[in-house]
Amino acid sequence: MSIILSDITYVYMKKTPYEKIAIKNINIEIKQGEFVGIIGHTGSGKSTLLQHFNGLLQPTTGTVSVDGQDLNVKGAAAQTAKRRVGMVFQYPEHQLFEETVYDDIAFGPRNIDIGEEEVAVRVKKAMDFVGLDYNEFAKRTPFQLSGGQMRRVAIAGVIALEPTYLILDEPSAGLDPRGRDEIFGQIIKMHQQTGITVVLVSHNMEDVARMANRLIVMNNGQVSLDGSPTDIFSECQTQLKEAGVDVPPLTLLMDKFNQRGLAVDHTVVAMDTATESVLAALGRR
Amino acid sequence: MLADIMLGQYFHGNSVIHRLDPRTKIVSTILFISSIFLAENYQAYGVITVFTAMVIGLAGIPTIMILRSLKPLWFIIILTLLIHIFTTPGTVIYMLGPFTVTQEGLRQGLLMTLRLLFLIIISSLLTFTTSPVALTDGIERLLNPFKKIGFPAHELAMMMTIALRFIPTLLEETDRIMKAQMARGADFTSGNILRRARNMIPLLIPLFISAFRRADELATAMEARCYRGGDHRTRMKQLKIVGKDWAAAGILLLLIGLLILVKISVK
């Protein structure tokens, strides 16, 4: 069970003078249960790549399959397969339109012919996941919420579809640090509790490094690195620089410790393990 | 999807046509469009075709771009053709149930279609070769005399600049929202017209909200830079009518003369 992109190339505005190859020869398999981070600087093809995961864009060449179902085939089977992939776009709060938070989250589920009771259950569950209190928010208009709350409503709208794969494009863009931590906290919680597969796009290395167990680095429309965050940060710093992605500050700090002769583990990506490593190294001395 | 729409988009270039004064281009376009109405036979359209092809060639606009500018309007074009073919009385050459095709209808339909095609091509040539800023500058200057009678020339020009500037932005936005709602199972393509209109709500409401938000932000940004309308504003690029503008005007007059000649001589 996985999303497989094989040999994907996508060309924008084909056959015009504006023709541009956005991504080329992409081969990726997203396995169920993974937490994948995709990073790359602006224009590296991240967002284009993302839209292939649920068939919003059809590749110019190559095929995309979700759980073995080719998305390019017309028919109900491909539609169902697409539904298994939930997509949260950049600034998802811009897509809110209903009068109440409840109705907006229910928009997706209502589109897939399940009873209104089931819809209600799903909306409640989705609001719970994104940390919005049902009694407080369900009947309010989404347009008077704060930016972070609006975004959570929008994410809940996708979660309510109960996708197997959740794709998020820069879910923290434009939020303050607290809003960002809340959103990420909820994504991590959901990943752990339901085992949902998460693909997270960001250009903030630190966020991705902390959460993802696999990292894909995009550069110039191609995959330049694919592996675990620890491996990539410790071994591929030159490629990272080439791709225009910063190494997380924590890794840089640990490298500096190493250079100054303090033998810490420079592959750590989380603050608590880093602290432990530094304390251990200090204790050893 | 929607990003393919080309109408009203500037195509960067440095051809003779690009460098003409926008006023020349605007006036010429208006004259040219009116002169199309002089054309009532195939010969006249031959002349217009040659002239249009010449302008396209000079401007260096790829043919595919021209064709794309026609794309959003092909429905109207075909409809015009069909209506004329089936409704003009005259010598019947073909019958299909209640529909009769007449010789006159065929001719009338073809000529009307050609007329529509050239209207679109010529006006899109104007926007292809003139940047929105130059275009509105030109319009403002052309409307300047009317300011005396209280006509808000500058405000109108500014509104047009902004509208033109935001066409691609809003199209992009539409595309994005459409995809986001499609990812939530929205369906914009099937069902009858009523249902389809209702299905547009999830697209239109966010689009309006975002348009208003953008308008608000733009107004703030303009005020922050002390914008206060047309009076006493100076320009970085002063418009000047030079030799090539007169040459262009001459060629256009020649064309109109030729069209009148064709109209008189061919019956």
A-B C-beta contacts closer than 8 Å = 62
Residue-level pLDDT at B6: 46
- One domain for residues B193 and B242: no
Evaluate whether residue A127 is within a structural domain. no
- One domain for residues B34 and B123: yes
Residue-level pLDDT at B1: 41
Residue B8 confidence class, pLDDT cut points 50, 70, 90: low
- One domain for residues B202 and B77: no
Evaluate whether residue A269 is within a structural domain. yes
Q: Write the DSSP symbol of residue A26.
A: E
- Say what the ipTM of the complex is: 0.81
Residue-level pLDDT at B267: 62
Task: Confirm if B189 and B237 have CB atoms less than 8 A apart.
Answer: no
Residue-level pLDDT at A63: 92
Residue B4 confidence class, pLDDT cut points 50, 70, 90: very low
Q: Domain containing B69: what range? A: 1-130+237-267
Residue-level pLDDT at A285: 58
Residue-level pLDDT at A175: 84
Q: Write the DSSP symbol of residue A246.
A: P
Evaluate whether residue A274 is within a structural domain. yes
CB contacts, 8 Å: A161 with chain B:
184-185
Q: What share of chain A is helix, strand, coil (3-state, %, to 5)?
A: 45, 20, 35
Evaluate whether residue A282 is within a structural domain. yes
Distance from CA of B203 to the nearest CA of A (A): 8
Q: Domain containing A256: what range? A: 248-285
The letter for the amino acid at B79 is L
How far is Cα B56 from Cα B48, in angstroms, rounded to an integer? 12
Evaluate whether residue B146 is within a structural domain. no
- One domain for residues B88 and B188: no
Evaluate whether residue B212 is within a structural domain. yes
Task: Confirm if A138 and A125 have CB atoms less than 8 A apart.
Answer: no
Mean pLDDT of B139-160: 85
- One domain for residues B210 and B249: no
Burial A94-126 (b: 16+ CB within 10 A, else e): bbbbbeebbbbbbbbbbbeeeeeeebeebbbbb
How far is Cα A186 from Cα A162, in angstroms, rounded to an integer? 15
How far is Cα A216 from Cα A38, in angstroms, rounded to an integer? 5
Evaluate whether residue A85 is within a structural domain. no
Residue-level pLDDT at A284: 67
The letter for the amino acid at B125 is L
Question: Which phi and psi (to 5°) does residue A245 adopt?
Answer: -110, 135
Evaluate whether residue A272 is within a structural domain. yes
Number of folded domains in chain A? 1
Comparing CA positions, the residue from A38, A124, A130, A50 lying closest to residue A86 is A50
Least confident of B83-87, B114-118, B251-255: B83-87
Task: Confirm if B85 and B26 have CB atoms less than 8 A apart.
Answer: no
- One domain for residues B227 and B195: yes
Per-residue model confidence as pLDDT tens digits over B159-204: 888 887 788 888 888 988 998 998 888 888 777 888 888 888 999 9
Q: Searching chain B, which residue's CA lies closest to the CA of residue A80?
A: B185
Distance from CA of A95 to the nearest CA of B (A): 5
Burial bucket for residue A170 (CB in 10 Å: 0-12, 13-18, 19+) = buried
Evaluate whether residue B177 is within a structural domain. yes
CB contacts, 8 Å: A158 with chain B:
183-184
Residue-level pLDDT at A230: 80
CB contacts, 8 Å: A95 with chain B:
177, 180-181, 202, 206
Number of folded domains in chain B? 2
Task: Confirm if A56 and B102 have CB atoms less than 8 A apart.
Answer: no
Evaluate whether residue A270 is within a structural domain. yes
Among A residues 65-84, those touching chain B with beta carbons less than 8 Å apart: 83
- One domain for residues B251 and B229: no
How far is Cα A160 from Cα A86, in angstroms, rounded to an integer? 9
- One domain for residues B126 and B181: no
The alpha-helical segments, DSSP class H, found in A130-169 are: 134-137, 147-159
Please report, in tens digits, the pLDDT of each residue of chain A (285 residues total): 899 999 999 998 777 777 888 999 999 999 999 999 998 888 888 889 999 998 888 999 999 999 988 888 888 888 888 889 999 998 888 889 999 999 999 999 998 888 899 999 999 999 998 889 999 999 999 999 988 899 999 999 999 999 999 999 988 888 888 888 888 888 999 999 999 999 999 877 777 878 888 999 888 889 988 988 888 877 777 788 888 777 777 888 888 888 888 888 777 777 788 888 888 888 865
- One domain for residues B84 and B216: no
- One domain for residues B105 and B189: no
Q: Write the DSSP symbol of residue A16.
A: S
Which among B184, B188, B203, B205 is the top mutation candidate for probing chain A, defined by the most A β-carbons within 10 Å of its own β-carbon?
B184
Residue B93 confidence class, pLDDT cut points 50, 70, 90: confident
Listing from the earlier edge strand, what are the strands of the sheet with A197-202?
A85-88, A165-169, A197-202, A35-39, A214-219, A222-227
Evaluate whether residue A101 is within a structural domain. no
- One domain for residues B106 and B217: no
Residue B15 has pLDDT above 80, yes or no: yes
- One domain for residues B85 and B186: no
pTM of the model: 0.72
Residue B7 has pLDDT above 50, yes or no: no
